[in-house]
Amino acid sequence: MVDSSVKLFESQEIRSAWNEDEEEWYFSVVDVVGVLTESQDGRKYWNKLKQRLKYEGNETVTNCHQLKLKAADGKMRLTDVATTEQILRIVQSIPSKKAEPFKLWLAQVGSERIDEIIDPELTLDRALETYLKKGYDRNWVNQRLQTIQVRKGLTDEWERRGVEKGKEYAILTDEITRAWSGMTTRQYKDLKDLKKENLRDNMTTLELVLNTLWEAAPRSR
């Protein structure tokens, strides 16, 4: 199931579509390229950029999907779309002043990620800082960080027992969520009107406590 919508970037429209099954946003590549390059013909620029990416051996282009999005004439037309990850890779190949802040941000994130691999404790430090900057209450943040540790312990146990990441993790997570809330993870996110957002980041302190208790329970047996 795909829901179409429009995002705004500097008051300019970026057509997008939410794929509920994949829990992934797809964005119109032509729209993104047009905004960042201020090109009169984003489609023409994208076609040239596509050739350059192929020459560089980049797989982003060949992995791009096409979805029907509403065109300027009001008709639904097949349009090249890309996920957030793919869009960010495309942005790196656009020589534009508007694209430069994204490139600098990607370089910063990459540097921070390398630091966290060297010193994993930095991950929790940055998480604490981020939650506080977003305005979360410190008591809530402490409980949220505890859920991260408990979840990590649970997934480590699953891995030790041979559970495969991905679908099997999702099935077990659904069972835990259903046990204390009566809903699957997807149903719970729908109740809170969430898409890509993290469900736990949108839980109350009580919900976090209940979720933590149920995730800790299998390891205590």
pLDDT in tens, 39-98: 778 888 898 888 888 888 887 777 788 889 988 888 898 999 999 999 998 999 888 888
Which listed CATH number (1.10.260, 3.90.1690, 3.10.260, 3.40.50) goes with 2-110? 3.10.260
Q: What is the mean pLDDT of the chain?
A: 87
Could you give phi then psi for residue 24, rounded to 5 degrees? Answer: -140, 135
Both tokens of residue 119? 């010193």
What pLDDT band is residue 190 in, cutting at 50, 70 and 90? very high
**Ranges 8-22, 47-61, 104-118, 176-190: which has the least confidence:** 8-22
Question: How far apart, in whole angstroms, are the C-alpha atoms of residue 165 and residue 177?
Answer: 17
Q: Taking residues 172-194, what's their average pLDDT?
A: 93
Classify residue 212 as exposed, middle or buried by CB count within 10 Å of its CB (0-12, 13-18, 19+): buried
Q: Taking residues 197-210, what's their average pLDDT?
A: 93
Q: Which of residues 221 and 140 earns the better pLDDT score?
A: 140
pLDDT higher than threshold 90 for residue 6? no
Residue ranges, CATH 3.10.260, the chain: 2-110
pLDDT score recorded for residue 220: 54
Q: What is the DSSP letter of 93?
A: T
pLDDT in tens, 122-173: 888 899 999 999 999 999 999 999 999 899 999 999 999 999 888 899 999 9
Q: Taking residues 27-39, what's their average pLDDT?
A: 88
Reading phi first (left if > 0) and then psi (alpha if -120 to 50, else beta), residue 105 is in alpha
- 8 Å CB contact between 31 and 14: yes
- 8 Å CB contact between 91 and 103: yes
Query: Cα 214–220–221 angle (5° rounding)?
Result: 105
Both tokens of residue 189? 């996110």
